[in-house]
Chains A and B, each alone.
Chain A
Amino acid sequence: MIGGLFIYNHKGEVLISRVYRDDIGRNAVDAFRVNVIHARQQVRSPVTNIARTSFFHVKRSNIWLAAVTKQNVNAAMVFEFLYKMCDVMTAYFGKISEENIKNNFVLIYELLDEILDFGYPQNSETGALKTFITQTGIKSQSKEEQSQITSQVTGQIGWRREGIKYRRNELFLDVLESVNLLMSPQGQVLSAHVSGRVVMKSYLSGMPECKFGMNDKIVIDKQGKGGASEEAAAGKSGGGGGKQSIAIDDCTFHQCVRLSKFDAERSISFIPPDGECELMRYRTTKDIILPFRVIPLVREVGRTKLEVKVVIKSNFKPSLLAQKIEVRIPTPLNTSGVQVICMKGKAKYKASENAIVWKIKRMAGMKESQISAEIELLPTNDKKKWARPPISMNFEVPFAPSGLKVRYLKVFEPKLNYSDHDVIKWVRYIGRSGIYETRC
């Protein structure tokens, strides 16, 4: 059970302090500041134990959120709560920054009162919270409304209220993935995995029952050849090879998904909350489509010169365009000057980051591009050899590197008279780079 929650700015000043239990004293605030924020060595562990008190912290830009407890709590629960807290705050006032927090401190205290009760997390669904915590001043609600809110919040489906009506029933589905890679200089994959999210934005009337299907290996194998035609229809948007199904290593769902049904039949059915929600999160490690291949070539010419050549190759359908490509080539610590030549995009030596940063706005599939740089070095009396950190890369591609495909999303609303065909559905795939590195 969380004993208290503090929010600090980057200097360690307390912006928000809410104590839920008596066992957390005032000095806990200072203990965290002294031992974590102002620690001599950077504290890397998100959990710190100081004087038999545990501090769980997350950092958002320059803001520290710390949950404090003296009990043996479930750490995963506490972090889930902290992330949820960040989501809620973002939903209410946008980016989490010192200024925003200072401007909305009343709202934050109100939220904290609502989502944590004596240290026990309560309903933290933004949609539900927005019905009774509003920013538009005090609007006295009628008795009827109040009882409706009460019944909804305490009811079985706490995340959706009844009586929602839209003229156009629309539904947006985003598959967001980040691909992580570590590759050896010879092109051997040392580690690779994709972590993805399915985000849904729904504007549907009534209490619709939805069913979501994707090319999960287990489901496909179960259906056997029977579902072949369906796959052909759904499999168009993919970027990579002709993979039929993917193996998902693990996944988590939004609370609206009926887990019993997923366990039994592996079908994902739910009544979605109104507006945006993260339907599921998953991770895959097999058969990942690596959108880019980086080929580094580093040559040391004497003690004072270094020649670097880097080739990048895009490895997806030529019809697709990758965006926001950025290659970061680390330079030695004794670099005294850099000359760069690149065929495409812009490249610049950033001394403050000790790296050459090469940016390309757009790049189609099955293309290649290269950069070459001459780095001049200052001779030092230090015998240490340069550690050669890996070349890292950022990009965004319009397909899912894991190979995940949405097969269907069916909507049923028995009470109102609109059918699955009347709903306008949009599906979008975005693959981004996570930690995408190649050793050189």
Chain B
Amino acid sequence: MPAVSKGDGMRGLAVFISDIRNCKSKEAEIKRINKELANIRSKFKGDKALDGYSKKKYVCKLLFIFLLGHDIDFGHMEAVNLLSSNKYTEKQIGYLFISVLVNSNSDLISLINNAIKNDLSSRNPTFMNLALHCIANVGSREMAEAFAAEVPRILVAGDTMDSVKQSAALCLLRLNRTSPDLVLMGEWTARVVHLLNDQHLGVVTAATSLITTLAQKSPEDFKTSVSLAVARLSRIVSSASTDLQDYTYYFVAAPWLSVKLLRLLQCYPPPEDGAIRGRLTECLETILNKAQEPPKSKKVQHSNAKNAVLFEAISLIIHHDSEPTLLVRACNQLGQFLQHRETNLRYLALESMCTLASSEFSHEAVKTHIETVINALKSERDVSVRQRAVDLLYAMCDRSNAKQIVAEMLSYLETADYSIREEIVLKVAILAEKYAVDYTWYVDTILNLIRFAGDYVSDEVWYRVIQIVINRDEVQGYAAKTVFEALQAPACHENLVKVGGYILGEFGNLIAGDSRSSPLIQFDLLHSKFHLCSVPTRALLLSAYIKFINLFPEVKGTIQEVLRSDSQLRNADVELQQRAVEYLRLSSIASTDILATVLEEMPPFPERESSILAKLKRKKGPGNLHPDLDENRKERSANGGTADHSSTTSNAKVLLLSCCLLIRMTHCFLIVTVTSPKVAASPTPSTDLLGLGSTITTQNSAPPASKGTSLLVDVFSENIAAFPVETPVAVGPVADENFSRFVCKNNGVLYENQLLQIGLKSEFRQNLGRMYVFFGNKTSTQFMNFAASVPADPTVDGGAQLQQILNIECMSDFVDAPVLNIQFRYGGTLQNVAVKLPITLNKFFQPTEMTSQDFFQRWKQLGAPQQEVQKIFKAKHSMDTEVTKAKIMGFGAALLDGVDPNPSNFVGAGVIHTKTTQVGCLLRLEPNTQAQMYRLTLRTSRDTVSQRLCDLLSEQF
């Protein structure tokens, strides 16, 4: 490239730059730049034509100002003018400015393109080079559109200079990267391949890069390049270091070209032609041989260049994976590098070995280096190298050395760097499972894992332990014993408590024979950890406790005591509270038979691939050296097999215990729940025992044959198609529009839509009630799989009516009414209806007659402020005295005439009966006909009752 001669040096530019450099402060610099910009603007104004020199000078100054970080918004036109100059320096500056400053959507682009076109056809090699460089630098879509056809033509033209060919190849490479769709394969492709035979090594290097990229796009078109590449490679490899003159770098012949050729060969499988194949093998052997030779220079560049070629050759060997001798040699060569003092070499050696380990030919060879690798893991200073060592250990692990490797990794885990701990934990867990011959060893390993690095043990790992323990009878006893021992440590990790709680809950009975681990001791041990754990763990422990009740009836009292304690029964956490309440009820009400059914041992999990593998794959992400080439390589990578990406699956399984319980309980719970509205009124829909709308309980409506535990597991898998019953439509909002009408009466239509009518007839005495529910099919077709909250007849004939009787008992005062869920299949679709049952507190009212004196005496006794609730509200209906009287009586209270001094007021009295207590209630209703308002006052011995009754009654007027 012609240098800028002395006479051509721009003095003004030099002065300007030195001025800027001498500026003392930022402000001074900005002032100087402003001044210069104003000067350039006045020069560019176009009154007088500028000569090429000054144009060049000012454009240079603008470039310099731009590079200092200021915005330049003019001068583009002048730069474009420079492009048409005949002087090299002016043209060069013009192109420089365009490359740096012109953005692709500029309106000058057509002018620029025109200038470039002129230069490309000029036959002057320097100008052509400049133009090609500019195209490559800008690389915009417009450029690609304009020149995608032109550049290949220049590339393959016979009379093009070598340097231009080189530029054209690289320019085309760039265009192919930015807009691959515009670079079309044509007849030039065949001729491009022949550039590999070019005399000029520079052209060959550029062409190899281009061909490698294009070959990935369309391998077929460039198949012929393999033989040429091999020929070229063998010529380079076999040449003496002095042969290639300019292309010998520190005694290594054309290292860059060699590396590129080797990469190109990695795009294709091993050549089929024996001769070529032999030649390639020869080349690779020569490269491996050369690595053994003593270095020709002590300079680091020499060894770098040599090793670059060597590693690329090894990559190719691994890619071909067909020559056992070469693979073993490569492995041995890498083994030497493992102990090299250069850290980079050790890293690369470990990384390459990782891929080598997956090849069947070299796996054994890799294994011979196990000691070195383990040593590297322990003594290496650089964490990234240690990470590679872990990868390699993982890759080289098999049945024969699994125990040793897992033990080493476990011991390393204690000192490992925090950033890689989780990955090591996953790897240990996978290896332990994969190569476990003896499941006691597996259990030991995982428990140790949790002990050493509990924080890094993800949920997947411990889910997996439990899956395995449950599926294998032979380890259950051992696992119970081991976790029991592990839990005895004064401080143990929460994950260990989880595993311990689960396993002891399932298999605690297997070790209960030993007096050192009697049921009570087991329970105490678990419960001693209870208060240190987070909510999910506590929930799990509660489930374990209820399982204990089934396993060991002798500890029932102790456990009930724990469940009954305020810290459980009134826990702030809804989940814990609910579990405590439900388990307590379950343990006190259900018979041992029911308990045994509900709390039966978990069924085995279906065998499917470990979710930990999926997790490890996610963690790894893209981290390899050549993103271009690794697609095919990845598939052969160590992990092997595919994992289903259902991370949710295992998650769901943890819930299994409690959910399974739920399902098994449903049919025996119905009586319990209906008779105890307070329980039914639990706030979370998913745990609502009556909530038949949730996925779990749809099972209940299925034919009894499918109501098995084996199916339960599939509820949580994503494989919905395996379901005998389609997923139900979502539960609609709970219908309660008729609810308030039933406050003062007991019979009527509760719910009606175009398909279904629900009628109601109920009677109440004291704290007991009976409710008849009539389901009427309004259509002419049959409802299939009909299910209400009580197991009803699975079919309802068209026009037919079905009756259901509910027995109700009021346990204590309550607010929310139970919900009746109805499900049936009409036509093809599943219908869901949720109706609030009109069971309200006032239904348990017994009227009491009393005199005026009695009334006011009691009225005064109930004078505490929390006992009285008063509400003033506007009348919604006409204020008819008779209707009001009827309503109060319907509400359940006795209407006392002549008690209140004001005859227009209404006074009532009654007693609410619940199972445990009786609550006396007095009420007083004062209508104001002028204002159309009522004042309702309620006094009862319980504040909650007063409030609820007041709310109920006030809505009636």
Contact = CB atoms under 8 A, between A and B. Distances in A.
Interface of A: 10, 42, 62, 333-337, 351-354, 376, 378-382, 384
Contacts of B108: 381
Contacts of B570: none
A370 B76 CA distance: 38
A40 to B, nearest CB: 10
B41 A382 contact: no
Given A336-B41, A336-B44, A381-B73, A352 B32 contact: yes
Question: Which of B31, B39, B76, B107 lies at the interface centre, i.e. has the most chain A CB atoms within 10 A of its CB?
Answer: B31
B106 A381 contact: yes
Interface of B: 24-26, 31-32, 34-35, 37-39, 41-42, 44-45, 71, 73-74, 76, 106-108
A416 B25 CA distance: 56
B117 to A, nearest CB: 22
Given A10-B25, A351-B35, A351-B39, A378 B107 contact: no
B25 A62 contact: yes
Nearest to A337: B42
Contacts, number: 51
B41 A334 contact: yes
Contacts of B38: 335-336, 351-352, 354
Given A10-B24, A351-B34, A351-B38, A337 B45 contact: yes
Contacts of B42: 336-337
Interface SS majority for chain A? loop
A382 B45 CA distance: 16
Nearest to B41: A336
B41 A335 contact: yes
B836 to A, nearest CB: 59
10 contacts: A10-B24, A334-B74, A335-B41, A336-B44, A337-B42, A351-B38, A352-B31, A378-B44, A378-B74, A382-B73
A252 to B, nearest CB: 32
A353 B45 CA distance: 20
A337 B74 CA distance: 15
B31 A336 contact: no
Given A336-B44, A379-B74, 13 more contacts: A10-B24, A62-B25, A334-B41, A335-B41, A336-B38, A351-B35, A352-B31, A352-B32, A354-B38, A378-B45, A380-B74, A381-B73, A381-B108
Contacts of A337: 42, 45
B41 A353 contact: no
Given A335-B38, A352-B32, A376 B45 contact: yes
Nearest to B76: A381
A380 B73 contact: yes
A378 B31 contact: no
B24 A62 contact: yes
A381 B37 CA distance: 16
Contacts of A352: 31-32, 34-35, 38
A334 B73 contact: yes
Contacts of B74: 334, 378-382
A353 B30 CA distance: 9
A421 B594 CA distance: 114
B41 to A, nearest CB: 4
Nearest to B30: A352
B73 A336 contact: no
A62 B41 CA distance: 31
A133 B731 CA distance: 89
A434 to B, nearest CB: 20
B41 A378 contact: yes
A337 B38 CA distance: 8
A353 B31 contact: yes
A162 to B, nearest CB: 48
A354 B33 CA distance: 11
B25 A354 contact: no
Contacts of A379: 74
Contacts of A376: 45
Question: Which of B25, B38, B71, B106 lies at the interface centre, i.e. has the most chain A CB atoms within 10 A of its CB?
Answer: B38
Nearest to A42: B26
A10 B74 CA distance: 33
Question: Which of B24, B32, B35, B41 lies at the interface centre, i.e. has the most chain A CB atoms within 10 A of its CB?
Answer: B41
B22 to A, nearest CB: 13
Contacts of A334: 41, 73-74
Minimum-distance CB pairs A-B, first 4: A351-B38, A382-B73, A352-B35, A352-B31
A378 B62 CA distance: 15
A336 B934 CA distance: 85
Nearest to A355: B34
A82 to B, nearest CB: 21
B510 to A, nearest CB: 57
Contacts of A378: 41, 44-45, 74
B885 to A, nearest CB: 74
A335 B106 CA distance: 22
A379 B39 CA distance: 15
B225 to A, nearest CB: 45
A353 B73 contact: no
Contact of B107 (A10, A353, A380, A381): A381
A10 B32 CA distance: 18
B842 to A, nearest CB: 63
Question: Which of B26, B37, B106 lies at the interface centre, i.e. has the most chain A CB atoms within 10 A of its CB?
Answer: B37
B4 to A, nearest CB: 28
A304 to B, nearest CB: 9
A109 B25 CA distance: 27
A384 B74 CA distance: 13
A42 B26 CA distance: 10
Contacts of A384: 73
A354 B30 CA distance: 11
Contacts of B76: 381
A353 B71 CA distance: 16
A336 B45 contact: yes
Contacts of A380: 73-74
Contacts of A333: 37, 73
Contacts of B107: 381
A353 B24 CA distance: 17
Contacts of A42: 26
A381 B41 CA distance: 14
Nearest to B69: A40
Nearest to A376: B45
Nearest to A384: B73
A381 B78 CA distance: 13
A12 B37 CA distance: 29
Contacts of B37: 333, 351
A115 B31 CA distance: 39
Question: Which of A10, A333, A379 lies at the interface centre, i.e. has the most chain B CB atoms within 10 A of its CB?
Answer: A333
Contacts of A10: 24-25
Nearest to B31: A352
Nearest to B32: A352
A349 to B, nearest CB: 8
B51 to A, nearest CB: 19
Question: Which of B26, B42, B44 lies at the interface centre, i.e. has the most chain A CB atoms within 10 A of its CB?
Answer: B42
Nearest to B73: A382
B609 to A, nearest CB: 49
A13 to B, nearest CB: 13
A10 B25 CA distance: 7
A10 B76 CA distance: 36
Nearest to A354: B34
A67 B44 CA distance: 50
A403 to B, nearest CB: 36
A243 B35 CA distance: 47
Nearest to B44: A378
Nearest to B28: A352
Nearest to A382: B73
Contacts of B106: 381
B39 to A, nearest CB: 7
A380 B78 CA distance: 12
A378 B35 CA distance: 15
Contacts of B73: 333-334, 380-382, 384
B98 to A, nearest CB: 13
B370 to A, nearest CB: 46
